[in-house]
Chain A
Amino acid sequence: MTERMQPSPPVRLAVREVDIAYGETTVVRNVSFVLETGTIGCLLGPSGCGKTTLLRAIAGFEPITQGEILIRGQRVAQPGWMLPPERRHIGMVFQDFALFPHLSVARNIGFGLRSMSSPQRRERVSELLELVGLSQAADLFPHELSGGMQQRVALARAMAPRPDILLLDEPFSSMDAELREQLAREVRAMLKREGVTAILVTHDQLEAFAMADMIGVLNAGTVHQWGTGFGLYHEPADRFVADFIGQGALLPARVLDAHQVRTELGRISSAQPHGLDTDIAAEVLIRPDDVLYDESSPRRATIVERAFRGAEFLYTLQLDSGSEVLCLVPSHHRHAVGERIGIRLEADHLVVFACPCAGSQ
């Protein structure tokens, strides 16, 4: 309690220029980010991108080969030295939950509270049981619980000692896909109620959006962008992020001036300068919601693929040049593959990348 009165340092976790290598192979390269107290961060990326390795390095299970990691301003890892995990005051939720099969739910949750007196421990355990909604299950054993309940026990167990930072390794990967987003929102609510600083690892962007305040997109061991979900979707820093987050297509364009480009579907302009040289070949990110269905539009495109999404159809359209864009259309506008429909571009901001093949064309 007294801890909360003191002003905590704003930066809870700092990762600075960290490399992690196994022998010759570097799996994490020059990663830096900070996480402020009370925020929930997320490392998002395809499998094999090094996100779990990075999380395990923060926990103290992997050594780092370059840079440093600080928790609450205290250095916990540097090349050649690491504070053992048991002295980092972290909490961790494992992918397989790792509940101790020989202990009841209550004793699993109380496992990390050895330094407390037993009345204190009992109080803290029942507080957490209530938080995760498992007060009825205190005396059950892990094998008697459903997957979702096991996960909540794992979460409560990790949160019980009030860790400086809570680490979650793909916590929803063993859950049904339909449940994941909802669970992620529930877990977020629990973490926020306890004011926990947490970092999550996942490959599922919807999970990341539902749970995290700040998201780092990782690929091949490097962080491509660190920002909010909204920022990643609407202002991706590079092609990888643009492609990985959300759906969309890259449409060839030519840069007109510092604020405008021209595409096959018309001009797109933005308030901020986009930073590319004038009159070079470029590519513009077109999200499905940037392309509107409009029968009165003179611009026509052929439907090459159709995916029914319930409320909408997601059409893949082929333009006259052969380029493709995606278009989200309310599902009462039903068209067949091969049909030509009218479309209109309505992009209020501009995401443009220099064309990698500009020189050769």
Chain B
Amino acid sequence: MEHPPDRVGNSPFALASACFRSASMTASLSAHPGRLAFMTRARLRPWPGLVVLVAMLLALPILVVVGFVFVPAGEVWRHLVDTVLVDYVSNSLLLMLGVSVGTVIGGVGTAWLTSMCRFPGRGLFEWALLLPMAMPAYIIAYTYTGMLDFAGPVQTLIRDLTGWGWGDYWFPQIRSLPGAAVMLSLVLYPYVYLLSRAAFLSQSLCVLDVSRTLGNGPWRTFFTVALPLARPAIVAGLSLALMETLADYGTVEYFGVSTFTTGIFRTWFGLGNPAAAAQLSALLLGFVFALILLEQTSRGQARYHDTGQRRQSIRRLELTGWRALAAFGFCMAPLSLGFLLPAGQLTVWSITVVDQRLDAEFARLALNSLGLAAGAALLALALALLLGYGRRLLPTRLVRAAVRTAGMGYAVPGTVIAVGVMIPFAWVDNSVDSWMRATFGVSTGLLLSGSLVALIFAYLVRFLAVSLQTVESGLAKIRPSMDEAGRSMGLRPAQVLRHIHMPMLQGSLLTALLLVFVDVLKELPATLILRPFNFNTLAVRAYELASDERLADSGPAALTIVVAGLIPVIILSRSITRSRASV
């Protein structure tokens, strides 16, 4: 018995894109287009209108930012071009270059070793290599700064051992552009790892065997056959990692590296010029769209690199002696540097400050964060169901385009979304305020832009794609014949949803909730810009304390975020274990 559609969305490939920063709304439903369409069309008249409305609303911030391309450049913009823009561009490009090198070496190397070789610890590494994904880049940056700065444990140890004093020795400056590249690589390599691992596992053994029979050794086979075949997947993973790099604000700001995101902050708050900030955002969006294009084309090409269904199980290359040790070390390095060490440091900090920091303020922060995250996750799930069902039942061109648009925000940096939310909301506030003052003589102040509404809206724009993809891949697994079986046994369409779809979707719905929840919890730049006055979350507080060089004090908040970040990693590694059983 074969049930091919059951696999849709179950592979780590699909899950990687569902769970994490994938911009590609791969059409998971295309397996059976339109079969459900006709019979429900009449009953669902308001649906397409609602879908299009939601999509347009969610696209608004991006459209606003893009719209500023056509606004004549002001003096501030010219000033930016003359002074810092070159720095922003070159720093961003250098950072991307560094992250590319780091994530490809780390990601592809570990993927090859864990999927094609056998050495002690391989089964553990297979999922543990994902752990750094739980670590937001800005948190790992604070942690390493704490560990490696002059007063930190590493330099103190060096001084104690050697008797050197300040200025007697050279030590690499972690708060620098290369340092930022290392930090980002350490937490972003899992994207490359996940996608290239899936590619290696799906390569037909025959193709590799052919290479061996033609006289290539295992290593040569890797470089001449396996690696070129996996290239589209590697490029797709890399472009996801680079999108994250462009979106990063916390790390580069803390390390004093001027990039687009820090530039947008400075232009808005320092120079007080929203228009120039929006234009800078539009330029950044250009870079992001280039990456999306790269990712999409790579995924498209991956089709042609499909070497057919793998029928045999993998015979892994047995590594022994120093080779096994080297493989172990190669996998252990990113795991310990990207997760174990920083998590350990955060735990130590948290323990030292536990009495002072775990107070009423921390409880309030946690409550704020949890409330925001839960609210955004529930709303995102509701919208995802609306859009996902809209596309399943009415896969017209308009509805499909609208759903695609609604999922676009995931590729867009939080800073850009914040700018795109702030400008129209402030405009509405000002218009209402001036009208109210003119008519009734009362000032309404900031109704939207200074409220949680703006913040939650920004979260929805950024993270809707996460729940949408999860819901859609869940829906895609329900074959249309399930709906028809229900109908043929006397269920109305609404009853089909209630008695067949809902029970079958439970897992997907929960996953969608959790993923958005964790993403919102980790989000920093949009929260910084859009939060109401005096409203703090765990992420913002960790950032503030770290900025004040109170690294240890930021420990509990940071550790809470990391622990929550483990949830999606666990979901992902479970899916890896499942897929391994079926490979």
- Taking a contact as CB atoms under 8 Å apart, the answer to whether A94 and B489 are in contact is no
A145 and chain B: residue at smallest CB distance: B1
Q: Which of A87, A89, A90, A94 has the most CB of B within 10 A?
A: A94
User: Does B481 have its Cβ within 8 Å of any Cβ on chain A?
Assistant: yes
Report A74-100 residues with CB < 8 Å from chain B CB.
84-92, 94-96, 98, 100
Does B397 count as interface, using CB distance less than 8 angstroms? no
Whether A85 contacts B482 by the Cβ 8 Å rule is no
A114 part of interface (Cβ distance < 8 Å): yes
Q: Cβ of A333 < 8 Å from any Cβ of B?
A: no
Across the interface, which residues of A come within 8 angstroms of B1, CB to CB?
A: 146-147, 150, 174
Is there contact, CB below 8 Å, between A92 and B479? Answer: no
The size of the chain A interface, using a CB distance under 8 A, is: 32
Contacts of B38 in A (CB 8 A): 62-63
Of A84, A94, A102, the contact of B485 (CB 8 Å cutoff): A94
Known: A86-B492, A174-B1. A100 touches B500 (CB 8 A): yes
Q: Is the CB of A96 within 8 A of B503?
A: no
Complex Cα gap A208–B3 (Å): 25
Q: Once the chains bind, are A94 and B500 in contact (CB under 8 Å)?
A: no
Is B550 an interface residue, CB under 8 A from the partner? no
Q: List chain A residues, Cβ under 8 A from B484.
A: 59, 61, 85, 92, 94, 98
A338 CB to closest chain B CB (Å) equals 40
Contacts of A100 in B (CB 8 A): 482, 485, 500, 504
CB–CB A95/B481 < 8 A: yes
A323 to B307 alpha-carbon distance, docked (Å):
46
**A13 → chain B, closest Cβ, in Å?**
15
CA distance A14 to B184 in the complex (A): 69
Measured CB to CB, the closest approach of chain B to A304, in angstroms, equals 37
Q: Name the B residues within 8 Å of A63 (CB-CB).
A: 38
Q: Does A111 sit within 8 A of B, measured CB to CB?
A: yes
With A63-B38, A96-B481, A174-B2 as known contacts, state yes or no: A86 contacts B504, CB within 8 Å: no
Task: Mark B28-68 against chain A: 1 for CB-CB distance below 8 A, else 0.
Answer: 00000000001100000000000000000000000000000
List the A residue with the shortest CB-CB distance to B485.
Answer: A98
Q: How far is the CB of B222 from chain A (nearest CB, A)?
A: 37
Q: How far is the CB of A142 from chain B (nearest CB, A)?
A: 10
Which residues of B in the span 432-488 have a Cβ within 8 Å of any Cβ on A? Answer: 479, 481-482, 484-485, 487-488
B479's partner among A85, A86, A96 (CB-CB below 8 A) is A96
Q: Is B491 interfacial (CB 8 A cutoff)?
A: yes
- Within residues 123 to 175 of chain A, which ones have a CB less than 8 A from any CB in chain B? 146-147, 150, 157-158, 161, 167, 174
Residues of A within 8 A of B500 (CB): 100
A59-B479 CB under 8 A given contacts A100-B500, A147-B1, A174-B2 = no
Q: Residues of B contacting A147 with CB < 8 Å? A: 1
Q: Tally of A-B residue pairs with Cβ under 8 A? A: 67
Q: Which A residues lie within 8 Å of B39 (CB)?
A: 60-61, 84-85
CB distance from B61 to the nearest CB of A (A): 39
B490 sits at the interface (CB 8 A): yes
Q: How far is the CA of A157 from the CA of B484 in the complex (A)?
A: 13
Expressed in whole angstroms, the Cα–Cα distance for A87 and B491 within the complex equals: 9
The docked-state distance in angstroms from the alpha carbon of A199 to that of B503 is: 31
* Distance, CA A86 to CA B504, complexed state (A): 21
Contact in complex: A111, B489 (CB < 8 Å): yes
Please give, as numbers and ranges, the residues of chain A lying within 8 Å of B489 by CB-CB distance.
86, 91, 111-112, 157-158, 161
* Smallest CB gap from B499: residue in A: A111
Say how far B69's CB is from chain A's closest CB, in angstroms. 41
Q: Tell me the count of chain B residues lying within 8 A, CB to CB, of chain A.
A: 19
Q: Are B488 and A85 in contact (CB under 8 A)?
A: yes
The docked-state distance in angstroms from the alpha carbon of A102 to that of B498 is: 13
* Cβ of A172 to closest chain B Cβ, rounded Å: 13
CB contact list, B1-22 vs A, under 8 A: 1-3
A61-B39, A96-B479 known; A86 vs B488 contact (CB < 8 Å)? yes
Residue A322 is within 8 A (CB to CB) of chain B in the complex:
no
CB atoms of B485 and A86 under 8 A apart: no
Is A7 in contact with chain B by the CB < 8 A criterion?
no
Instruction: Return chain B residues, CB-CB under 8 Å to A61.
Output: 39, 484, 487
Instruction: Give the docked Cα–Cα distance between A158 and B487 (Å).
Output: 11
- Which secondary structure dominates where chain A touches chain B? loop
Interface string of A43-86 (1 = CB under 8 A from B): 00000000000000001111100000000000000000000111
- CA A169 – CA B488 in complex, angstroms? 13
* Docked-complex contact B488 and A90, CB < 8 angstroms: yes
A310 within 8 A of B: no
Residues of the A chain whose Cβ atoms lie less than 8 Å from the Cβ of B479: 96, 98
CB distance from A219 to the nearest CB of B (A): 24
CB neighbours of A119 from chain B (8 A): none
Say whether A101 faces chain B, with CB atoms less than 8 Å apart.
yes
Are B488's CB and A91's CB within 8 A? Answer: yes
Q: A63-B38, A96-B3 are in contact. Are A114 and B481 (CB under 8 A)?
A: no
Q: Which residue of A lies closest to B477 (CB)?
A: A101
Contacts of A174 in B (CB 8 A): 1-2
Please tell me if the beta carbons of A101 and B488 are within 8 angstroms of each other in the complex.
Answer: no
CA distance A271 to B524 in the complex (A): 93
Whole-angstrom distance between the Cβ of B582 and the nearest chain A Cβ: 12
Chain B residues with CB under 8 Å of A89's CB are 490
- Distance, CA A60 to CA B488, complexed state (A): 8
Judging by beta carbons under 8 Å apart, are A161 and B481 in contact?
no
Contact A86-B503, Cβ < 8 Å, known A92-B485, A94-B485: no
| Chain A residues within an 8 Å CB radius of B482 | 98, 100
Q: Which among B3, B39, B487, B488 has the highest number of chain A CB atoms within 10 Å?
A: B488
B485 touches A161 (CB 8 A): no
Alpha-carbon gap, A102 to B487, bound state (A): 17
Output the least CB separation between A106 and chain B (Å): 15
**B residues within 8 A CB of A94?**
481, 484-485
* Residue from B482, B490, B500 with most neighbouring chain A CB atoms (10 Å): B490
Inter-chain contact B481/A86, CB cutoff 8 Å: no
Residues of chain A with a CB closer than 8 A to B3's CB: 96
Shortest beta-carbon distance from A4 to chain B in Å: 21
Task: Give the complex CA separation of A91 and B485 in angstroms.
Answer: 8
- Known contacts A147-B1, A150-B1; is-contact A158 B504 (Cβ 8 Å): no
A59 to B489, CA, bound (A): 11
Residues of B within 8 A of A101 (CB): 504
In the complex the two chains form, is B488's CB within 8 Å of A92's CB? Answer: yes
A84 to B488, CA, bound (A): 9
| A88, closest chain B residue (CB) | B488
> Which B residues are CB-close (under 8 A) to A158?
488-489
A68 to chain B, nearest CB (A): 18
Residues A85 and B487 in contact, CB atoms below 8 Å apart: yes
**Min CB distance, B59 to chain A, in Å?**
31
Contact of A84 among B2, B487, B503, B504 (CB under 8 A): B487
Q: For residue A151, give the distance in angstroms from its CB to the closest CB of chain B.
A: 10
Q: Which residues of B contact A150 (CB under 8 A)?
A: 1
Nearest chain-A residue to B502 (Cβ)?
A102
Measured CA separation A90–B500 after assembly (Å):
19
Candidates A59, A86, A95, A98; contact of B490 at CB < 8 Å: A86
Q: Which residues of B contact A59 (CB under 8 A)?
A: 484, 488
Q: Which residues of B lie under 8 Å from residue A114 when comparing CB positions?
A: 490
Interface positions, chain B 107-155, Cβ under 8 Å from A, are: none
- Nearest CB of chain A from residue B7's CB, rounded to whole Å: 13
A157 proximity list for chain B (CB < 8 A): 485, 489
A112 to B481, CA, bound (A): 15
Closest CB in chain A relative to B269 CB, distance in Å? 52
The answer for the CA separation of A59 and B1 in the assembled complex, in Å, is 26
Q: A60-B488, A84-B492 are in contact. List 14 more A-B contacts (CB 8 A).
A: A59-B484, A85-B39, A85-B484, A85-B488, A86-B491, A88-B488, A91-B489, A94-B484, A94-B485, A96-B479, A98-B479, A100-B485, A114-B490, A158-B488
Q: What is the interface of chain A, defined by CB distance below 8 A to chain B?
A: 59-63, 84-92, 94-96, 98, 100-102, 111-112, 114, 146-147, 150, 157-158, 161, 167, 174
Please list 11 pairs of residues, one from A and one from B, whose beta carbons are closer than 8 Å in the complex, sorted by A's number: A86-B488, A92-B488, A95-B481, A96-B3, A96-B481, A98-B481, A98-B482, A100-B485, A101-B504, A111-B489, A146-B1
The 5 closest A-B CB pairs, nearest first, are: A112-B489, A98-B481, A147-B1, A92-B488, A98-B485
